[in-house]
Chain A
């Protein structure tokens, strides 16, 4: 059921976490990490223009906040950062920031076809929070002035998140739902199973 609410009516914190969720996290992490790493030729210092940044938002919206968040965290911190050699630097800020970038839209976007909500929660709010974490951490550690990183995260991540995330989400949702991978459906199915067992 599609809803056009930009603000969610009900927030679901819980998410089923079985083997499928693990697999989706792994795949999301690889995709996100590879995407960030392979587009590094467009590097602007610490942060890179990342066409595949939208994977975080997409994963959050389609597969749930926890799967999305963990995928973005692992992909950014353990794949992209380690391979690029600046794990120690971006470290905690990057991990939390990227987690938030997927977690927030996962939590607050009511439906993957709701483009406005994805743009708001993923493209703007999530990305700004990610930028706050990254910029804040780097400034706290004294590696770089807050504004430089804050603004470069915004410049690099807002365009893909704002434009690509809603488009790709719209294209993929049907296929994801048909395969039974959409996280809200899986939650529902689980509830029904539990109820049946109780009866």
Chain B
């Protein structure tokens, strides 16, 4: 939790990357989601990941990003690398480490798994970079303006997403307070079987949800007091987020990554299969 809040704070720093239009960054990030879907060549994936790390250094978030990813990388990669080889289709010409009925583990399977792991690494790195360089409030309001004026979608939806983030620290405080108050009543949340542990969450959930409902009623009242109307499609926006050359350049970076993928694929270098 503490870490989460720290991550959200990172988005408010100042650097070249932080000042890029949030919608432009969103587009860049979508490109970075598409890239690992298009290619599995481990070298290309590694190079792109390194590029993002260079950007992270430039924007001064590398230390925090490292602190976060050092925990997440191993979990994800471990999961992928351990699981994939067992599901990798068995063919007779592979170099097997062991092969027992439906369970098999071959060198080819392992390389394949490693490539899959690297895809996840790229995805994770891009996502973390995006979250740490973007103020999510800015993102929501720039998207909200775009959605209302261009797509005629009610501001209600971005508002809900944005408010969830806004209330996160406050509600998070309550949440942990309630859990602590149960610990103070000799409730041991960390031991017991899955069943026992689940049942222990019932008494915690009641005051938690109850106090949250009270908050919900207050939020509803304060929305109404500020004349918020779900059907209003002509509300204006205080902050505007025009696109500049810098933003277009950033989108261009994402587009380049996609073009590289297309080129690699057309040369047949895109997939990990060339190494198998």
- A residues contacting B by CB (< 8 A) are 17-20, 22-27, 29-31, 33-34, 37-38, 43-46, 49, 51-52, 55, 58, 70, 74-75, 78-79, 82-89, 91, 141-145, 147-148, 159-160, 163-164, 167-168, 171-172, 175-176, 179, 181
Contacts and interface: CB of A to CB of B under 8 A. Distances in A.
9 contacts: A26-B164, A27-B216, A43-B75, A45-B78, A85-B127, A85-B128, A143-B80, A167-B202, A172-B210
Given A18-B230, A23-B220, A164-B205, 6 more contacts: A22-B159, A30-B212, A142-B40, A143-B119, A148-B87, A175-B213
Given A23-B217, A84-B72, A172-B206, A70 B123 contact: no
Contacts of B83: 45, 144-145, 148
B114 interface: no
Given A74-B160, A85-B131, A46 B76 contact: yes
Given A19-B220, A172-B209, A34 B171 contact: yes
Contacts, number: 184
A44 B219 CA distance: 35
B217 A85 contact: no
B215 interface: yes
B159 A143 contact: no
Contacts of A86: 72, 76, 120, 123-124, 127
B68 interface: yes
The 4 closest A-B pairs by CB, nearest first: A45-B79, A23-B219, A23-B220, A145-B87
A142 B230 CA distance: 39
B112 to A, nearest CB: 10
B226 to A, nearest CB: 10
B176 to A, nearest CB: 8
A164 B203 CA distance: 11
A19 B72 contact: no
Interface string B97-117: 000000000000000000010
Contacts of A33: 164, 168
Given A78-B161, A85-B72, A22 B230 contact: yes
Nearest to B200: A51
A74 B1 contact: no
B127 A168 contact: no
Main secondary structure of the interface of A (DSSP, over half): helix
Contacts of B69: 85
A179 B213 CA distance: 9
A89 B29 CA distance: 12
A70 B33 contact: no
B43 interface: no
Contacts of A26: 160, 163-164, 167, 216, 219
Given A79-B164, A168-B205, A27 B213 contact: yes
B241 interface: no
Nearest to A45: B79
B60 to A, nearest CB: 19
A78 B167 CA distance: 13
Contact of A89 (B4, B120, B209): B120
Contacts of A160: 198, 201
Interface in B195-254: 195, 197-199, 201-202, 205-206, 208-210, 212-213, 215-221, 223-224, 228, 230
Contacts of B218: 23
Nearest to B157: A70
Interface in B162-177: 163-165, 167-168, 171-172, 175-176
A38 B178 CA distance: 13
Nearest to A39: B201
B37 interface: yes
A29 B159 CA distance: 12
Contact of A143 (B72, B120, B127, B171): B120
B127 A87 contact: yes
A152 to B, nearest CB: 10
B194 interface: yes
A38 B79 contact: no
B180 to A, nearest CB: 12
Contacts of A44: 79
